[in-house]
Structures are given as C-alpha cells and as structure tokens.
C-alpha cells in the first residue's frame, strides 16, 4: 500500500532538518509520497524536486504549503497541495504572509525586551520563515526557560505578556490563492485548535462554502477514536481526507509516515492525482 505523508516542515520554516535531510529521512521511513508544507513558504520546493530527480530517490514529491489564517478568535492552518508554486496570485499572498511574519517576530522581540529578556533576531538563527518556535528554542539555549513549551507558557503564548496577535489572511483568501494555483485546500490538524465540536462543525460548514477541498483525518499523534471521528466529519461535510505527520524534528511522537492510514470509507485527497 502506498504510504502518503502530506504535511511536514524543513528549515525553510520551523523544521529542524534541511530539505535534503528531510527527503532522505522520508525514504528511510518508507514514505512513498511526500508533500513539503512549510509555513507560508514554497522556497524548499525547487530544491526538493531537483534532489529527487538528481538522486533518483524512490519518492513522489508533491508541492505543498501551510498557510496561517485568522477565523473568529482562532488561528487556523490551511494546507495547499499539488499546486503551481510559480503562480503569481499565490506568490503575492505568500509575500504578504511573510512580511506579517517578520513584523510579528520583531514585535515579539520588542515585548520580550520590555520584560527584561534580551534576545536579538541574529541569536534566533532563522534560516527560513521566522516563527515563535525559533524564539522558544533560543530561550532554551540561553537558559531562560528549561523547555520550549515553557517559553509559550510564560512569555510568547496567547494571553502572555510577549504575545503578539497575528494578522494573517482569512481562510477564503488562502483557499482562493491555492485554487488559482491549481491546487487543493485542506484543513490542517482539526483537533489542534482547542475548539469544541460545535465550533469545528461551524468551521467545516463555512470552509465548505468557501471551497475547502479536504481535511486532515489521519495524523501521527492521534487515537483511533479521534481518527474515526474526523473520518465521519469528512464524509458528513463532503470533504476529501488527507493525512500527514506534521513532522518538525526527529522524535518519538511525530515521525515521517508514522501511524498514517485512512479509514476505509474516506475519499482520499489524492484520488485523482497523476502518478
């Protein structure tokens, strides 16, 4: 059976592995089809495609991106799959998103400084898109917190003194850009937003109205009950099912290809992709 992993990150956003390291690790874990979905960036796609071709890796590569969006009081992530990364409309939206990321990153560092936590952008060693994870990791390296999660709990997480509300695009904008680039738009990790089922169902209803194509049903970190619940929702709202590890770094919990399979009644997002 073909193993699909359609959600992972490289150093072009907040992943710890380079594109080459990521692709080689995917092969080691028997992934057959991989999508690189860096946050608001498609910078790794050309590199990945060139490597697959040059090295003749046993891997089908799918163009991907994960776009941060605002909806009500939530930050929602939409994964774009199988699109043209050179599409001007999509490139324009991603350029706006990237500027928002740089602006937010600078504002968080300024707030930290006001709390007496001195941190420079250079210290955070950002190779690609700046994220709060870069700040959290640097706070650990400097001994200010003992674990990245504590950085979110005490400084940069929602409700804390160095938190900066993001000004992302809205979901219809993201879906439109992905569609104009010829791709499919998928709701990422539906259970990660800490919303009730009532809110999630409302999101799916509105998403469907906006042209949402699918939702992630199978993830590395989930119980069978969660997977079955998401599978039923995808069928109820006429959404195709996707799967992905949301891999960021080597570890026991989120590994490339780990624990990924769709329940039998799901319609896979890749149903009509050419091989």
pLDDT tens per residue, range 28-52: 999 999 999 999 999 999 999 999 9
In whole angstroms, what is the distance from residue 193 CA to residue 125 CA?
A: 28
| Burial class of 75 by CB neighbour count within 10 A (0 to 12, 13 to 18, 19+) | middle
Say which residues have a Cβ less than 8 Å from residue 247's Cβ, sequence separation at least 6. 5, 7, 8, 9, 15, 22, 220, 254, 255, 256
Q: What is the CATH number of domain 4-94+170-244?
A: 3.20.20.140
Closest CA to 212 of 181, 245, 237: 237
Domain ranges in the chain are 4-94+170-244, 102-156
Strand duo 240-244 + 214-219: pairing: parallel
Q: What sign results for the dihedral spanned by CA atoms 17, 22, 28, 31?
A: positive
**Cα–Cα nearest to 163, from 109, 117, 103, 97:** 109
Which DSSP helix (H) or strand (E) runs through 170?
strand 169-170
| pTM listed for this prediction | 0.94
In the block, residue with structure tokens 């950085």: 151
Q: Are strands 60-71 and 169-170 parallel, antiparallel or unpaired?
A: parallel
pLDDT digits (tens, 9 = 90+) for 135-178: 999 999 999 999 999 999 999 998 999 999 999 999 999 999 99
Rg (CA), the chain: 18
CA 178 to chain centre: 14
With residue 66 as reference, give the H or E element that holds it: strand 60-71
Which residues, 6 or more positions from 133, have their beta carbon under 8 angstroms from its beta carbon?
A: 14, 148, 248
**Lookup result for tokens 């907040």:** 14
> What gap in Å lies between CA 12 and CA 42, rounded to an integer?
8
Token pair for 173: 């904008």
Q: For the chain (length 275 residues), average pLDDT per consecutive 10?
A: 97 94 98 97 97 97 98 96 98 97 95 93 81 92 94 94 95 98 98 95 98 97 92 97 96 90 96 80
């Amino acid at each position: 059976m073909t193993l699909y992993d359609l959600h992972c990150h490289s150093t072009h956003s907040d992943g710890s592995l380079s594109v080459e390291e990521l692709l080689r690790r995917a092969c080691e874990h028997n992934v057959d089809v991989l999508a690189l979905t860096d946050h608001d960036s498609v910078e790794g796609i050309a590199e990945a495609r060139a490597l697959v071709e040059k090295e003749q890796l046993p891997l089908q590569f799918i163009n991907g991106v994960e776009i941060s969006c605002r909806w009500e009081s939530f930050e929602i992530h939409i994964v774009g799959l199988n699109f043209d990364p050179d599409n001007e409309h999509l490139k324009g939206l991603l350029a706006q998103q990237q500027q928002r990321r740089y602006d937010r990153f600078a504002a968080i560092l300024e707030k930290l400084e006001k709390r007496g936590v001195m941190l420079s952008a250079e210290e955070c060693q950002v190779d690609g898109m700046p994220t709060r994870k870069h700040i959290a990791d640097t706070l650990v390296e400097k001994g200010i917190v003992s674990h990245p999660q504590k950085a979110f709990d005490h400084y940069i997480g929602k409700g804390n003194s160095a938190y900066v509300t993001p000004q992302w695009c809205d979901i219809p904008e993201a879906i439109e850009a992905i569609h104009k680039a010829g791709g499919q738009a998928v709701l990422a990790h539906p259970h990660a937003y800490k919303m009730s089922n009532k809110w999630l169902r409302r999101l799916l209803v509105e998403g469907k109205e906006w042209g949402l194509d699918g939702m992630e049903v199978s993830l590395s970190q989930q119980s069978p009950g969660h997977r079955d619940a998401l599978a039923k929702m995808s069928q109820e709202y006429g959404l195709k099912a996707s799967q992905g590890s949301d891999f960021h770094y080597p570890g026991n919990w989120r590994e490339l290809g780990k624990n990924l399979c769709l329940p039998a009644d799901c319609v896979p997002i890749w149903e009509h992709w050419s091989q």
